[in-house]
Amino acid sequence: MSRNPITKPHHGMQHPGCTRRTAVRAGAIGILGLGLGDLEGMRSLGSSSGSERPRARSVIFIFLSGGLSQIDSFDPKPDAPENIRGEFGSIATRTPGLRICEHLPLLAARSTDWSIVRSLSHGTNDHSAGHQFMLTGTSVLPIGFDPSRPRPEDDPSIAAVAGGLIAGRNNLPPAVVLPDRLIHNSGRVIPGQFAGTMGSARDPWFIEASPFNPKGYGAFPAFEFDHQERAGVPKRTAFQLPSLELPEGFGRSRLTTREALLDELDRRRDALAESEGPERFTREQKNAISLLSDPRVRRAFDVSDAPASQLDRYGRHSFGWSLLMARRLVESGVGLVQVNLGNNETWDTHGNAFPHLKEKLFPPTDQAVSALIDDLKMSGLLDETLVVMASEFGRTPKISHLPQHYTLPGRDHWGRVQTVWLCGGGIEGGRVVGSSDKIGGHPASDPQSPENFAATIYRSLGIPENAAWYDAVGRPHFVYKGDPFPGLT
């Protein structure tokens, strides 16, 4: 696509004059993992040309880490041989001619609200590289890429770029990630989630509410499972209230009840207000303190007070709680919310794929995503909120079996094609962009890339085509590296 001269944001993408550590030492407040000392500096989006700001919009980016099988979800191949089409049948949706997996009935009934792109492709079958591609919207690995750890030289995540370019509203950060960081079952942190060359001060804000369980996957507690069905794997029983990270001297605690969280917020807010004296606070510090007492913020981060009927619709499990929190954050003013439905490898169905998809993964996903659609429609937020769902890659057309690890077969990693699901934010429902070949192995028409994926998100956020972000040494980088998905608006 043609590019206009670079538009340099007035505040959001300037490299800050101090690190997050410096901001904390200066008295900035962190809540639920959110360092807020420089929040005021992220609230304005402008340009050197003085052009009018784009209309504020929101995105909920649902990421299915591990790799959702395109054939077993939104691109079934009923006419393919059995070792390709798998065990699942397909069902008609409300969109004429569009069929999806039989185990997604609630989404099938809402197909006029959503569309799919069946032809996204990139060149890796590696988990870490795939995360880097899809979470950053860049299909070329940075020089020296290390699949075992994130590096300062990596490309920034979509969440980090969006968080720097869009304005924060209502004392909230412009972009957050929940309910956890993506961590491999070995404990290593997955690349692609952070700000990389933008500088660590621009890392997206992580709301960590999901306890780490190296052998437990899925929508705990009701749908937690182990891919290899090992005995004695510990189970998570509750969605933790997020941790509090406050300035040095105030300590850190992980609270387990709603009442304790609210009491602690009150106590720490008052202690901060008294510790230095109001006359010594900067405007950013005063805004951070006011955040602690803002009832909208409390409500957004604490889903335990939701009406019972709403909790039942979303599901009383981590997928439902996460999407309900995302909906509340969007309503409260957060521009981009990335929701990781399951930690790293939750959707990595090398074996026992069909029973785990049917019984553990599809039911809470179908329930929670459908409830999110209904909730956004009912509240009038759907037109202003893009919901997009993708993985780091798809899965192999051919079913395989690793009997030394799994009782039943599954599918391997496959970067050549995956399906991306989209709803709201100006997207017309009931559309299908692109196609895969007859066995779901490669794009057959209209191939798309991670760059097109990221551009679709940035456009939905109202980020102008000529916007740029700036790395840690002040060099400009264009935000858009491709065109948004065609044929959806």
Residue-level pLDDT at 273: 55
- Where does the pLDDT of residue 271 fall: very low under 50, low under 70, confident under 90, or very high at 90 and above? low
Its pTM stands at 0.83
**Structural tokens at position 313:** 């619709």
Omega prior to 443 cis, within 30 of 0 = no
Residue-level pLDDT at 167: 83
The mean per-residue pLDDT over the stretch 7-11 comes to 35
Classify strands 413-414 and 394-395 as parallel, antiparallel or unpaired.
antiparallel
Lowest-confidence region among 275-289, 334-348, 437-451? 275-289
The answer on pLDDT for 170 being more than 80 is no
- Where does the pLDDT of residue 197 fall: very low under 50, low under 70, confident under 90, or very high at 90 and above? very high
Residue-level pLDDT at 172: 81
The mean per-residue pLDDT over the stretch 400-428 comes to 97
DSSP 367-379: HHHHHHHHHHHHH
Residue-level pLDDT at 28: 31
Residue-level pLDDT at 121: 98
Residue-level pLDDT at 301: 74
Q: Which residue has the tokens 């006029």?
A: 112
- Where does the pLDDT of residue 475 fall: very low under 50, low under 70, confident under 90, or very high at 90 and above? very high
The mean per-residue pLDDT over the stretch 433-442 comes to 98
> Residue type for 46, please?
G
**Structural tokens at position 341:** 């439905």
Contact criterion met (CB below 8 Å) for 394 and 70 = yes
Q: CA-CA distances (angstroms) from residue 219 to 308, 356, 391, 394?
A: 18, 12, 17, 20
Beta bridge partners of 245: 252
The mean per-residue pLDDT over the stretch 108-128 comes to 98
The mean per-residue pLDDT over the stretch 328-346 comes to 94
pLDDT tens for residues 21-31? 333 323 332 33
Residue-level pLDDT at 294: 62
Q: Which residue has the tokens 């990221």?
A: 454
End-to-end CA distance of the chain: 18
The mean per-residue pLDDT over the stretch 138-145 comes to 97
Residue-level pLDDT at 183: 95
CA distance 240 to 257: 8
Q: Which residue has the tokens 């207000």?
A: 273
The answer on pLDDT for 305 being more than 90 is no
Q: Which residue has the tokens 């998570």?
A: 236
- Where does the pLDDT of residue 489 fall: very low under 50, low under 70, confident under 90, or very high at 90 and above? confident
Residue-level pLDDT at 308: 96
Average pLDDT over all residues of the chain: 83
pLDDT tens for residues 354-412? 999 999 999 999 999 999 999 999 999 999 999 999 999 999 999 999 999 999 999 99
Tell me how long the chain is: 489
The mean per-residue pLDDT over the stretch 141-155 comes to 97
CA distance 28 to 272: 10
Q: CA-CA distances (angstroms) from residue 411 to 68, 101, 127, 350, 369?
A: 10, 16, 14, 5, 24
pLDDT tens for residues 198-246? 999 899 989 888 988 999 999 999 999 999 999 888 899 888 766 534 3
Residue-level pLDDT at 260: 54
Between 431 and 262, the more confident residue is 431
